[in-house]
Structure 1
Amino acid sequence: MGNNQKWKDKLLSSSFPLEFEAMSCLADKGFSVSSEFSYSRLDGDVHKDFSVDVEAMAFTPFGEENNLTGTVHLLVECKYRKDGTSWLFLPDPNDPEFSPFTLGRTIRAVDNFSKDILPPNNVVSFDENLPFCFKGVEVDLFNASAHDKEIKHGLNQLHYALPTMLAGEINSSSWVSPDPSQPFFICPILLTTAPIYLAKDSFSIDLVKGASDIEEIADRVPYLVTYHDVSPDFIRHCVREFSDNLAFDVEHLNDIGNYRLSKGEHEHLLPLKVIESLLSGRVSELKTYFTQYIVCDWQHFPELVDNLKKSITLAMRGADSET
């Protein structure tokens, strides 16, 4: 391989071109984009800075500059993979009643800190037609290898960044201002150039042994939802993040809470109760925000963004506004 090809391969492998293409796609679809969303976490006993590749923000209604009703944040971690590499994920084999996945949690639709109340199950429709998957593995068809390092790394970057983003959005909604607090939406995406495959329901050791091609053991999908559970280290990370960075006006949030209570809101979903749960690291609360992640094939990223915008638009269309 000549030097001319080597530098191109190295540049592509850095994901630098993929990041720019992702940002350009998002900008074309009405988002304001930033390169890198930074956060800090403990590495041993030392605080270190990390980042997710792309942050994108937009307002609802999409494409309208007046009468803004909500905020949308996307976090995108990019993974360029060389030709011949595929990502294979296991489908969730559970009965829906016993599955750890919850419909409506892939897009985090947060109205707890606003008097604008979203309808129940407002983003469930986005999840209904998506495959829910457990762990994934990267399969190199040319070099005969399989490992999960890059997938785990990408998901961890998103996982540990989300509490910082959530804290920032809560802070923005937790003080009296001329503009009333509004709902916000957060969605994390692991974006890859690798084809994404969902293992068939008949997936087994024998099926793999008898296969001559990956398509005999799995079906290619444009994107899917995978589960990343909260670990003891992540719980500690959340408690530190929220304890250090959450700032709020109790009187203001009590006012919002009383209004929402009068509209039939459950007490545990009131703003100060949510903050209390986050500060204490309550596992059930953390699972609400930090367990479901989209993994997307780059070829289908524009389609994914369009579907996210469609689902969020429908959610906001049904909002019950105080005004």
Structure 2
Amino acid sequence: MSSGLPLEHSVAGVLKRLGLGMHVEYAYLRRNEHGQDIKFSIDLRAIHRDEEQGLLLSLLIECKYCARGTQWVFVPDESEAPFNEMRRSYFSGTDLYATNSVSTLTTMNQYNQDVTVLRGLQIAEHGNVSPGTVAEAIAQLRYASLEQSLEWTGYHLTTAKLFGPGTLRIPGASVCIVVTTADLCVLKPHTTLEAFEDAQTLEDVTTPQPFVFLEAPPDASFVRHAARRIREELGEPQLREQGLVDHLDTLNAASAATSLNDFILNHSRLEPAVFLIVQYGHLEAVISKILSDAQALAILDQEATRRINNRT
């Protein structure tokens, strides 16, 4: 059980029952402080392709098995208006060199503010505290999400090269998910230090939740890494090598993102910024809700797509 394999296998079973295509382990390279590329991976990637809406949806999933009695405790986001109205979506979109646009700005408005959190830590049954457990899972997903965006963008370029710049290239949206067997709980708002000191159990100062949205914007290290990786994969020398430089003006005119620079700024400074953390027992319901959101929110931004078509 402590290996995590039974949990990964069970999560994969839930995804298959919901009709999602499965990839066990999604590997990528990440450069360390010594300039060496080290192989990392996340546990699962599930794919849902919606031809009717023209969307490729990917679920990037990291599984964290915890012994019974373990709790993940989160600090709530107690921001008040107008700051709580500026929350980012838990969908992260990749539009570069796609012919349609993804609009994911209003997703979190559908959810109660109680499930929006800013940071968390793990408390084991006997009181051992592990502040890094949640952060490590988030970091693995963040770097994997960037590599997936590069992968999708490369596919868009290949499609344009083979079939012409005007060929339909659908955008991708991804959701970064941590699935854990730990119980999730959020500190009660406005709890005082005296209340913590007087509490007999953790339940006195927390509220259980089946899932939470963890807001965790990229740090400076990731910003530098992302900018470097995007230029390595999509810079002019690489595009020239693929025979695409002469077609860039036409390609950009038919693309949802206006420039490579926009892509660098968005993905290195902003994406992904929201991570969905789910208690395993509630996974099927949460994944079903994600699939429902992908349809109900009209993720395709028709107005932006019309503007793109007018440019061509």
TM-score over 0.5 for the alignment?
A: yes
What is the SS of the residue equivalent to 2:270?
Answer: helix
Q: Aligned partners of 1:130 and 1:254: how far apart in 2?
A: 46
Amino acid at match of 1:30: G
- Give the alignment partner of residue 50 of structure 1, picking from 40, 45, 51: 40
CA contact 1:75–1:158 (8 Å) conserved in 2: yes
- Give the alignment partner of residue 25 of structure 1, picking from 10, 14, 17: 14
Q: Identity over the aligned pairs, expressed in percent?
A: 17
Task: Confirm or deny that 1:244 pairs with 2:225.
Answer: no
Counterpart residue number, 1:294: 276
**Can you give the 5+ residue segments of structure 1 that lack an aligned partner in the other structure?**
1-11, 62-66, 261-269
Deviation at 1:34, TM superposition (A): 1.2
Task: Confirm or deny that 1:200 pairs with 2:188.
Answer: yes
CA contact 1:253–1:271 (8 Å) conserved in 2: no
Deviation at 1:117, TM superposition (A): 4.0
What is the SS of the residue equivalent to 1:74?
Answer: strand
Amino acid at match of 2:178: L
Change (3 A) 1:297 1:173: same
Q: Aligned partners of 2:223 and 2:99: how far apart in 1?
A: 29
Counterpart residue number, 1:153: 136
What is the 5 A alignment of 1:157-176? Answer: 157-174=140-157, 175-176=159-160
CA contact 2:62–2:141 (8 Å) conserved in 1: yes
What is the 5 A alignment of 1:1-323? Answer: 12-45=1-34, 46-61=36-51, 69-98=54-83, 102-111=86-95, 113-118=97-102, 121=105, 123-127=107-111, 131-140=115-124, 142-174=125-157, 175-176=159-160, 177-178=162-163, 180-246=168-234, 249=244, 254-255=249-250, 257-258=252-253, 271-273=257-259, 275-279=260-264, 282=265, 285-316=267-298, 319-320=301-302
Amino acid at match of 2:72: W
Deviation at 1:128, TM superposition (A): 5.8
Counterpart residue number, 1:265: none
Q: CA offsets per residue over residues 271-306 of structure 1, 9 Å max, x none? A: 242x21444xx3x65343122111111111111111
Counterpart residue number, 1:6: none
What's the RMSD between the two structures over aligned residues? 2.7
CA contact 2:116–2:214 (8 Å) conserved in 1: yes
Q: Aligned partners of 2:192 and 2:111: how far apart in 1?
A: 27
The total of aligned residue pairs comes to 292
Change (3 A) 1:114 1:125: farther
Q: CA offsets per residue over residues 102-128 of structure 1, 9 Å max, x none? A: 434211134454333456746355556
Q: Aligned partners of 1:314 and 1:109: how far apart in 2?
A: 16
Q: Aligned partners of 2:50 and 2:59: how far apart in 1?
A: 14
Deviation at 1:158, TM superposition (A): 0.8
Change (3 A) 1:112 1:40: closer
TM-score by length of 2: 0.83
CA contact 1:223–1:294 (8 Å) conserved in 2: yes
TM-score by length of 1: 0.80
What is the SS of the residue equivalent to 1:225?
Answer: strand
CA contact 2:226–2:267 (8 Å) conserved in 1: no
**Can you give the 5+ residue segments of structure 2 that lack an aligned partner in the other structure?**
none
Deviation at 1:43, TM superposition (A): 2.0
